[in-house]
Structure 1
Amino acid sequence: MIEIYTDGAASGDPGPSGAGIYIKKGSEQYEYQYFLGNLSNHEAEFWAVIKALEICKEQFPNEIVSVRSDSKLVVDVIEKEFTKNSKFLPLLEMVQRNAKDFPYFFIKWIPEKQNKNADKLARNAIQQRDK
């Protein structure tokens, strides 16, 4: 099973944003950060999950995937498979399409204090872009 910790960050809402992804597979650890452009914080959170699934599709195909996010909104939308928000709907659909590439896909809400690695990566993505 692959454990994925995702976080999105935005400097302003909307503003320059980044995604941080921290992956654990057994004793191995992988870190990724992406500058996402001008997005809201919630959009960045969705993109972090999407990018994580894209990475896993390429590097860890056919694995069981367990995503952890500190965004209650994102976790709720993905679990309920529903949103009224027109900005979030295409992002939800991308998550659903990408999740179908794995035999099992789970998403779980975690407190911010358990998501420090992904948070740091998301913030670094914004800072690196600002330099």
Structure 2
Amino acid sequence: MMTLYVDAARNVHTGQSAVGAVLIVNKHQQQLKSDLPQSADNHEAEFMGLIWGIKQLPMIDNLQIYTDSKIVADAIQKKYAKHYQSYVDRIISLLSEFPLVLISWIPEKQNHGAHQLAMQALKKTNR
């Protein structure tokens, strides 16, 4: 099973967003980070970050996703989000390629690696 920890960061003044992800496959860890398009709010950045993270994955195995965004975890599990349905639909479509997907909310302190990568990418973008 592959494990993906994902987190987004957003500059509230500029709307610029970034994503960080830690991917673990067969006990090998890979750190990923990227800038994202501007976002209207942090929730939108989290959805965009998860889409970006999924697109980085090889579609070879079952997938466990961890996020510290409760709205993202709940929306994907329910397949519904009042204000972010287009993102939910896109994520569900991307996840349909995997045999089994589990998504779980974790506290921010347990998602430190992905958070640090997102902050690094955001700092680089804001220079």
Match of 1:34 in 2: 34
Unaligned runs of 5+ in 1: none
- One-letter amino acid of the structure 1 residue matched with residue 80 of structure 2: F
State which of 72, 75, 93 in structure 1 corresponds to 2:73.
Answer: 75
Match of 2:46 in 1: 45
Is structure 2 residue 98 aligned with structure 1 residue 129? no
The answer as to whether partners of 1:13 and 1:41 remain within 8 angstroms in 2 is no
Is structure 2 residue 84 aligned with structure 1 residue 117? no
How does the TM-score come out when normalised to structure 2?
Answer: 0.93
Identity of aligned residues (%): 30
Does the residue aligned with 1:38 lie in a helix, a strand or coil?
coil
Aligned length: 126
The answer as to whether partners of 1:62 and 1:101 remain within 8 angstroms in 2 is no
Q: How large is the Cα RMSD of the aligned pairs? A: 1.3
Runs of 4+, deviation exceeding 2 Å: none
1:13 shift after superposition: 6.9
Unaligned runs of 5+ in 2: none
1:90 shift after superposition: 1.1
Cα distance between partner residues in 2 of 1:102 and 1:63: 7
